[in-house]
Amino acid sequence: MFNLIKKYWLVLIGLLVLVGVIGIWFFWPKNKQVYLSPEAPWIVIEKPLEKYAFSKLSQRVFIGSKVEVVGDVFYYEVDGKKISGQIKVPAGSVPAGGWPVVIMIRGYVDQEIYETGIGTKNGSGYLVANGYITLAPDFLGFGESDMPPNNVFEERFLRPVQVLELIASVGNIEGCDPTDISIWGHSNGGQVALSVLEISGKDYPTSLWAPVSKPFPYSILYYTDEFDDYGKALRKVLSGFEVLYDVDDYSIVEFYNWIKAPVQIHQGTSDEAVPVKWSRDLAEKLKEAEVEVKLYEYPGADHNLVGGWDLAMQRSLEWFRGR
């Protein structure tokens, strides 16, 4: 009798274990990883930033949103958050099909001096005078946009998402031709532009001005000597990030072969923010990835292409028109 009871108990325990394993397999939370340690053998760590890996974003469908235009400011939404930006429209009647569009992605600007249109308004004026509508998003935390998540890396990873949603929203803006979209990006905006080209795989003619083209996270660590703490706080956050994530999954240099668009690069030789070697290396790596690329260097020009600005804008316009 005892052996029979023992047998039934063993069968029952086996069934309970089986049910538990099946339950874990079906209901284990997604985007989480299990870490084993003597102190806490089953700690579940969430990986909320995994959705911003380029492989994940390349699978995301960007459907766009309604766009409201008030004067020269436009508003759209990304994941329920409002984003503002500056829109400039050519004078005269709208051509059949609408005006061609240039998405203008600015570089770094301190929030204390930021105003809508800073970093893009001069280039915008040139393009608008030549028949283009320009759209320059402020990004979360700037202009009249909502605040970004309280995570330095998520705020960064969201920028290509904001641009991709804006591109998907172009057809909802009166006077825009959603079939004729180009991209202009300066400095850190150049890195965002490259991210957009990689994630989308779309053929958006792109003009990059002094782009930050180094791999993540070196692309931001390079500039930490300008921080009050020389990047100490950022490095602490980064060390935690690297415990959970592979930084290569978020780095533009790993995905150049995804780019299908022609890329033009403009670089001043006296640029103190982006070394000229970066743009030379970028051009070579894009060529190796079989991307159509053209590099122009401007002797003595600085980070804003002062000393070559007129010629760089003329070449950018011709690049957009020739596609």
Of all residues in the chain, the percent with pLDDT exceeding 90 is 75
Same domain, 11 and 135: no
Quick one: which of 83, 163, 128 has its CA closest to 317? Answer: 128
Average pLDDT over residues 64-86: 98
Q: How many CB atoms lie within 10 A of CB 69?
A: 14
- Quick: pLDDT tens for 151-207: 989 999 999 999 999 999 999 999 999 999 999 999 999 999 999 999 999 999 999
Token output for 85:
């930006």
CA 164 from chain centre, in angstroms, equals 8
Residue entry with tokens 């029979």: 4
Residue 29: pLDDT band by 50, 70, 90 thresholds?
Answer: very low
Domain match, 189 and 262 both: yes
DSSP-derived pairing of the beta strands 43-46 and 68-70 = unpaired
Distance of alpha carbon 178 from its chain centroid, rounded?
20
* Residue 15 in tokens: 């069934």
User: Domain check: are 11 and 69 in the same one?
Assistant: no
Domain count of the fold of the chain: 2
Domain region containing 35: 2-46
Tens digit of each residue's pLDDT (9 = 90 or more) over 298-320: 999 999 999 999 999 999 999 99
- 20 with 135, same domain: the answer is no
- 17 and 158 in a common domain: no
Could you tell me if 61 and 166 lie in one domain? yes
Which pLDDT band, with edges at 50, 70 and 90, does 230 fall under? Answer: confident
Q: Are residues 11 and 57 in the same domain?
A: no
* C-beta of residue 197 within 8 angstroms of C-beta of residue 179: no
Are the CB atoms for 105 and 111 separated by under 8 Å?
no
Identify the pLDDT of residue 7: 56
pLDDT, mean of residues 124-135:
98
Give alpha helix (H) positions in the chain.
2-27, 54-57, 121-129, 152-169, 188-200, 218-221, 232-244, 276-288, 309-321
Could you tell me if 39 and 59 lie in one domain? no
Residue 121 burial (CB count, 10 A): 17
Indicate whether 13 and 102 sit together in one domain.
no
Instruction: Specify the amino acid at residue 306.
Output: V
Q: Which residues of 152-184 are buried (b: 16+ CB within 10 A; e: fewer)?
A: ebeebbbbbbbbbbbbbbbeebeebbbebbbbb
HSE of 166 in the Cβ direction (CA atoms, 13 Å)? Answer: 31
| Residue 280, phi-psi category: left (phi > 0), alpha (psi -120 to 50), beta (remainder) | alpha
Tell me the C-alpha distance between 252 and 243, whole Å. 20
Q: Does one domain contain both 27 and 146?
A: no
15 and 136 co-located in one domain:
no
Mean pLDDT of 20-43: 49
pLDDT band at 227 (very low <50, low <70, confident <90, very high): low
Residues 13 and 156 in one domain: no
Identify the CATH number of the domain in which residue 106 sits.
3.40.50.1820
Structure-block tokens of residue 158: 């969201």
How many C-beta atoms surround the C-beta of residue 112 within 10 A? 5
Judged on CB neighbours under 10 Å (0-12, 13-18, 19+), 72 is middle
3-state secondary structure of 315: helix
Which residues partner with 136 through β-bridges? 86
pLDDT tens per residue, range 236-282 = 878 888 889 999 999 999 999 999 999 999 999 999 999 999 999 99
pLDDT higher than threshold 90 for residue 105: yes
Residue 94 predicted with pLDDT over 80: yes
Residue 22 has pLDDT above 60, yes or no: no
CB 191 within 8 A of CB 212: yes
